Amino acid sequence: MRLAILFSGQGNQQPEHLARLRASVSPALGGQLATSIPSIWHGGDVVASDLQANCIAQPLIFALQMNLWQQLQPHLPRPVCVAGYSLGEMAACAAAGAFPAEAGVALCAERARLMDACVSGPAGLLAVLGLHAGAVEAIAVACGLAVAIRNGPDHFVLGGLAAGLEQAEALAETQGASRVVRLGVATPSHTPLLAHATEGFALRLGACSLTRLAFPVLSAIDGRSARSATAALDALARQISTPLDWDACLRAVLEMQPDAVLEIGPGNALARMWGERGSGVPVRASDDFRSVEGMIDWVQARA
C-alpha cells in the first residue's frame, strides 16, 4: 500500500489538542514541552487564544504531530512521501529522520523566536479566494504585501504588516473575492520580512547530524523531493521567508501515486484541499478520528 502523509500548519490548534497531548505524550517529549512552554504545559485550563502565539503554537503543534506519528508509525506502511504545510514541514523532516522529535521541540521554539524577532509591529496573513493570480499579485503590490502561499489557481495567502492586510482585505472584497479571511497567525510567514529568521535558523539546523532520510520529504516551496537531510533542512530554513507553492507540492504528492493520504495535526484544512483536487485518492485528517486505532484501521482498510 502506498501512503502519503501531510502535516498541518498553525491556526487550528485548540485546548482539546493540548488535553490529548498531556494525556498521551511520551516522557521524553513531555520533558521538552515542560522546558519550551512551561506556562502552558504546567498550567491549568486554557482557551484557544492562549495557544496562538508563535512561541506556544509551534512547539505544541510539532509535539502533537510527533506524538501521533510515534503511535502510528509501527502500524502503518512506510510512506512514499511526506510533506508539511509551513510549520508542518518541521514534523515532516523529523518523521523522515532529519532530527529527533525531542530535539525538534526545541528547534520549533527557536524557529518561533527568530520569526517573532523579525517584526516589531502587528502583522500576519490574509487568505484570498476567488481571484486569479494577477489580481492577487496586484493587490499585494498596492498594499505593500507579498504573496506568501499559493494553495490553488484562485486560493492565495498574502503576508505583511497589519495596515497593508486591512487595505488588501477591502480591495479583494471590492474586486469580487469569494472569501477573504485573516488567518490565526500573527507573523508574515514566507515573506522577505523574515529573511533574518531564515539565516538564523539555517545556522541552528547546521548543528544537526546529516543522514539519508527514511522516505522523501517534499518541499512546500515547490514540491521538490529531498532524500537527504542536507536538502530537507536547507528547504526547511528557506521556507520561512520564501513563498510556498502548496499547489505544486500537492501535485508532487499525486505524482507519487498514493493509495491514501493522511493529514496529521490540528484541523483538516489539508485534507479538504486534497479532496478539492478531485484526484479520487481517499484522504482523512487525524482530527476526524476519536482514536489512534481508528486512524490505523482506516489506513489498513485502504490496503
Whether 19 and 105 map to the same domain: the answer is yes
Range of the domain at 54: 3-117+192-301
Q: What is the pLDDT of residue 184?
A: 85
**Whole-number Å distance between alpha carbons of 272 and 257:** 18
Same domain, 66 and 197: yes
Tell me if 136 is assigned to some domain: yes
Tell me, what CATH number does 159's domain have? Answer: 3.30.70.250
**In a domain? residue 284:** yes
User: Do 113 and 13 share a structural domain?
Assistant: yes
Contact 125, 183 (CB under 8 A): yes
Residues in the chain: 303
Boundary (domain end) residue, out of 132, 150, 182? 182
Same-domain check for residues 50 and 177: no
Is 113 found in the same domain as 130?
Answer: no
Residue at 187 is within a domain: no
| Same structural domain, 99 and 196 | yes
14-73, pLDDT tens digit by residue? 999 999 999 999 999 999 999 999 988 987 788 888 899 999 999 999 999 999 999 999
Q: Check whether 192 has a pLDDT greater than 80.
A: yes
Number of structural domains (the chain) is 2
Start-to-end CA span in the chain (Å): 5
For residues 123-159, one letter each, b for 16 or more C-beta atoms within 10 angstroms of the residue's C-beta and e for the rest, the string is bbbbbbbbbeeebbbebbeebebbbbbbbeebbbbbb
Residues 131 and 65 in one domain: no
In terms of domains, do 30 and 81 share one? yes
Mean pLDDT value across residues 102-127: 96
Contact between 206 and 73 under an 8 Å Cβ cutoff? The reply is no
Please report the pLDDT score of residue 203 as a whole number.
Answer: 96
Quote the pLDDT of residue 282: 97
Model pTM score: 0.95
pLDDT of the residue at 44: 74
